[in-house]
A and B are shown apart, each in its own frame.
Chain A
Amino acid sequence: MRYRVAIGTTVVALIIAPVSAAATWSWGFNYLGNSSSNGNCMAPAVAVPGAVCSGWNYWNSNYMDKRGGGYVYLGWQKDAYTSGFIGVSGVTQVATVPSTVGLGGYLKSAAEYVSGAASYLQTQAYS
């Protein structure tokens, strides 16, 4: 009986562990242009429409695989008035960490259209 409980506890722990270890948010591949929105970004710090954002979380980093198009921002949103980004253009891969753009804590990962053609890209956030 004691062994069955131990085995059962181990199985439950193994099932739960991957879920609680790291959360991932992903958007795309899709076109990010001046009319794009997934309804998660907060204006005026991030354009709405014209941007896609993750939900709130204690994210550690984000990533973007941009396959073409114009100029976009990748970064983080703290609230409706506070954001930090880097700007990227062309075909590129890029990743950022919140503290590097001066933010931390409970955040949204944000990808924002700035100018030029809509960009075909995928973006992800990791906790």
Chain B
Amino acid sequence: MRNRLWRVAAGLAIVVGVGLFALVAAAREDGAGLAIETWAVGSDGTPVEVEGQAAELLGRFGGPGLDALRGVSLMKSVGTNGVFRIATTSGKSCAAVGQFEAGRVTQLGIVQCPIDPSFPSAERPALDLSVITIAKGAPRGITRVQGLAADGVVSIGLVDATGAIAAEVPTAGNAYLLEDVPPGIVGLVALDKAGTAVPIQGSQT
């Protein structure tokens, strides 16, 4: 009788344990694991003008759920390469990367305007525009890390094939940019000040 009770108790413990693990995993997967109470982007950046190819590319964006694009702000730069935030009349944020000179964006290379989940939010703590490349004889890997991060995301973790965080890119002014990524990076995570990590949507190779 006692053996049977032990078996039932052990079975229940396993079921509860598996359930708790699934709940924690699900919470971490949707970003709820980060210790961030209010989802916001505190940095204003520097307003910039948009012209030429950049204006033409932005002209394709808008419509239901997004409405019209408003101002463009430079959030981070390395030389003439910049990470930009684009405000919309819906209140949602877009992100872009490209070249700028003398306060003018002349060329945009990637633009993304997420509608659902929007940025910033628990489901999208970072609006990632990182580049994934495939070359002959090499596995898929992330070769450029860039994007916008919510307040409270202190760094972006570069995840290798073993699942370990091989390096971190600090965020500054709600943006991050790393042009020389070490080889073998296959994913990205957003990290808060407590070191909690959640996967960044769109960064899995």
Contact = CB atoms under 8 A, between A and B. Distances in A.
B51 interface: no
Contact of A71 (B109, B111, B202): B202
Contacts of A117: none
A89 B112 contact: no
Chain A interface SS verdict (over half): strand
Interface residue tally on B, bucketed by range: 35 or more
A100 interface: yes
Interface string B15-50: 000000000000000000000000000000000000
Interface of B: 53, 57, 60-61, 63, 65-66, 97-98, 107-117, 123-124, 128-137, 143, 201-205
B116 A90 contact: yes
A23 interface: no
A50 interface: no
Contact of A94 (B113, B117, B135, B136): B113
A97 B108 contact: yes
A84 B109 CA distance: 12
Interface string A45-88: 10000000000000011010100000101010000011111111
A47 to B, nearest CB: 11
Given A81-B134, A95-B111, A100 B202 contact: no
B131 A100 contact: yes
Nearest to A101: B131
B131 A102 contact: yes
B109 A99 contact: yes
